[in-house]
Structure 1
């Protein structure tokens, strides 16, 4: 990958376990903060799954400018 381009993924083997139950994660509060504009969660680019090649091209050309999201459409 080019310098400045990062592929990120959150994976946790403790998330949702008895030691860290999903009920302890304030997802509703996070969603409310995003909706109210208190948290900026806007990705720089959103691609449909059919545009995955373009998403890779943008990433590899160091043109992402922030987090990119690929969604199933």
Structure 2
């Protein structure tokens, strides 16, 4: 987490790991494959609460891990 008191926001770098086991994802049926995806989220704060959230994640990495490209 990287706080920015001047702009009243915080940037969070994150990673999630999980198993693809429920439903289709990017056209790939549940595979049981382990996946790991990284991303970043910018949280704008107001009075200690989240006012706005913007994020980005590495969907290409997820698509490759699932084997959805070929």
Pair in the same fold by TM > 0.5: no
Larger RCO (CA within 8 A; separation ≥ 6): 1
Report the TM-score range of the alignment, normalised by the length of the smaller protein.
under 0.3
TM-score (norm 1): 0.23
TM-score between both structures, scaled by the size of structure 2? 0.24
